[in-house]
Structure 1
């Protein structure tokens, strides 16, 4: 137990925490260089997020899809794969849940879970395409997942415009009320913020991530294949099957995220001119979170606060929204550059070791 606490303290907490501080300081320097007051900017950011119940609720809403896509990317990373396709899997989850939510008329206790399940399976199968190509044909999953992002975008638009978009409109019909996962009473508590059951599902997905990877035989095989596929094959593990399974599970996380956006936030799907962006942000979330489920949740909270609070910086301190991306990019840089962060942490760690 002590060993687990020590690892968490040194690797899962200190380095990301130091990276965040360094990123915020770098952002402050950038704001000073641009003639802005960083203290006022950060105070405005915090006030935007926590200033009233509606904004706080909307921040939670912003965090939720980032948890899903972060888990999607992190799960693949943990199994030795690079899932750059969470964006496409997210979109496919959206269109699948839209199809079920619009087309079927079922009792709420069946309709909503079925719509979420449809998004999960669709996202998982979309991820499994890249897994199959990797396993059967040796095609690099980075290339296929990037290409599948764009295929997902145009495929979803085609399905929408062909079957679900009324003539002259740019969005689908509204999903049936029975398919909605919005929490009405909680939304009212937060001044009509768009809160939904997807937030709870995201936290449960993080628990599922942990249990599957570290508490099951399947998870052991997935991690073993990621660490050394040749040794795993020699030990009798089915490497190709595990590659497909890893991408399927990762795709499921992103697909559920897409389903929750439709069923809990918008209640319809628009014809998209570009990517929603949650899948690409999920890469940063996974990186900041160290590809661990708890780290992903915490990183998504940070990312969501910075993203939603950017408007507060703009209106409260006159800082351009683009500068918040400088802060986020700085945090990612310092998380990725562990060596630089450890240089700053070295005196602290030495002092801690000396105290022990």
Structure 2
């Protein structure tokens, strides 16, 4: 019996026989098409990781909705007698909850006209406004290699500054609005600049400093709200500020029937500014260089301390814009010490989901705004606990913080890693040289 030669060996033998004398046969494996590398980078990239993290979070949320739904629990009691009832109850629970989420955040088909049906989308954008502003501030520090978790303190100081100018001072209409806005931005910037100054001059860790400044800002604002002549409204015994003057309130963008205000346009401008700052300016180049390797940046002649100070100043101003939008656009009847509403910590999630990219932060802020707006509708319409929305947000953070977990779960390739054929060819070239 003649020995069978594998097809691949036969091909190699034929190639060797077809080579003219004096030439070296080509036994290298051809490279994979360029399209494969592109698809590998897309499927394993950060954008796909973020999308899949949201998908997994929604799936986990659906499971929790099923667990807490009373109709599903009741139908599961006689599952073996009538299993279709259980599956029907599961479909109604999940479908009803997510339909209510959509109708409460994007469009309500039960409304008689388009103007009324589009109101949920405007609510989503209103909730997203402070999240985007604060998320941009946190994302900026991430790109510099800092971790700004002092959003709560910066929001409180910005809200106090804007609230004092807008509620306790009398100025001409346009001047009053601009003065209150600038006061809030400056207040947030200075509160963030303290962190950058301590980091640059003493090497103090920004996480510890921002946590401590959160407490300082909270108790300082609480004291001012209980002090007559400071932030407390005249004739008021409760710790609450005076209502904002009509001349210091953001105008509505779509009319009085909607809550969307000028602050949304400001965060759009802030997104464009941060994109330009990071990608088109020399200061942004220094930010990215320090974020990659501060020691190498220092050797290259970059003043790392100054970069930290300016980055925290700008970050504090962006986070302060969130506090300004709360005072001048959402809570115009006076605010208390809880005006931050957890936005400072939600901004960290928004920055992570957006991969510290301005456009990504903008989209992530709208997503979380939709979860906030639709969560209340889901709770009212389907009796779904609002805590499930918080669980969904937490699951998103979990998967965003662990990209290898998502890649392993969905068997995604790792971007930037050469295929085995490319590695084999590279080794041969090294040996040949």
TM-score normalised by the chain length of structure 2: 0.75
32, 54, 57: which is aligned to 1:23? 57
Q: How many Å separate the matches in 1 of 2:321 and 2:338?
A: 22
Q: Is the 8 A contact 2:158 2:185 kept in 1?
A: yes
Aligned to 2:102: 46
Q: CA deviation at 1:273?
A: 5.3
Aligned to 1:291: 356
231, 241, 246: which is aligned to 1:164? 231
2:96 maps to 1:96: no
186, 191, 194: which is aligned to 2:254? 186
Larger Rg: 2
Once the two structures are overlaid, the 10-residue window that deviates more, 3-12 or 139-148, is: 3-12
Aligned to 1:71: 136
Aligned to 2:274: 209
Q: Is the 8 A contact 1:95 1:269 kept in 2?
A: no
Q: CA deviation at 1:300?
A: 0.8
Aligned to 2:11: none
Q: How many Å separate the matches in 1 of 2:181 and 2:45?
A: 35
User: Unaligned regions of 5+ residues in structure 2, if any?
Assistant: 1-34, 73-92, 109-116, 420-433
267, 278, 292: which is aligned to 2:343? 278
Q: CA deviation at 1:193?
A: 2.6
Q: How many Å separate the matches in 1 of 2:201 and 2:43?
A: 41
**What does residue range 1-356 of structure 1 map to in structure 2 within 5 Å?**
11-35=45-69, 37-49=93-105, 50-51=107-108, 52-162=117-227, 163-165=230-232, 166=234, 167-183=236-252, 186-188=254-256, 192-272=257-337, 275-346=340-411
Q: How many Å separate the matches in 2 of 1:187 and 1:4?
A: 46
Q: How many Å separate the matches in 1 of 2:194 and 2:346?
A: 22
Q: CA deviation at 1:93?
A: 0.9
> Structure 1 325/159 Cα, relative in aligned 2: closer, same or farther at 3 Å?
same
Once the two structures are overlaid, the 10-residue window that deviates more, 235-244 or 151-160, is: 151-160
Q: CA deviation at 1:318?
A: 1.8
Q: Is the 8 A contact 1:65 1:257 kept in 2?
A: yes
> Structure 1 128/349 Cα, relative in aligned 2: closer, same or farther at 3 Å?
closer
Aligned to 2:9: none
Q: CA deviation at 1:55?
A: 3.1
> Structure 1 38/149 Cα, relative in aligned 2: closer, same or farther at 3 Å?
same
Report how many aligned residue pairs link the two structures.
Answer: 347
Q: Is the 8 A contact 2:225 2:239 kept in 1?
A: no
Q: How many Å separate the matches in 1 of 2:339 and 2:187?
A: 20
Q: Is the 8 A contact 2:44 2:413 kept in 1?
A: no
Q: CA deviation at 1:21?
A: 0.7
Q: CA deviation at 1:7?
A: 6.6
Q: How many Å separate the matches in 1 of 2:243 and 2:412?
A: 58
Q: Is the 8 A contact 1:161 1:271 kept in 2?
A: no
Once the two structures are overlaid, the 10-residue window that deviates more, 238-247 or 55-64, is: 55-64
> Structure 1 33/295 Cα, relative in aligned 2: closer, same or farther at 3 Å?
same
Q: Is the 8 A contact 2:145 2:292 kept in 1?
A: yes
User: Unaligned regions of 5+ residues in structure 1, if any?
Assistant: none
Per-residue CA deviations over 1:160-205 (Å, capped at 9, x if unaligned) read 332132232432222222111122x6133xxx23221110111111
Per-residue CA deviations over 1:117-153 (Å, capped at 9, x if unaligned) read 1111110110011111111111110011011111111
Q: How many Å separate the matches in 1 of 2:304 and 2:298?
A: 6
Once the two structures are overlaid, the 10-residue window that deviates more, 6-15 or 52-61, is: 6-15
Q: CA deviation at 1:246?
A: 0.8
> Structure 1 78/186 Cα, relative in aligned 2: closer, same or farther at 3 Å?
same
Runs of 4+ that moved beyond 6 A: 2-9
Higher helix residue share? 1
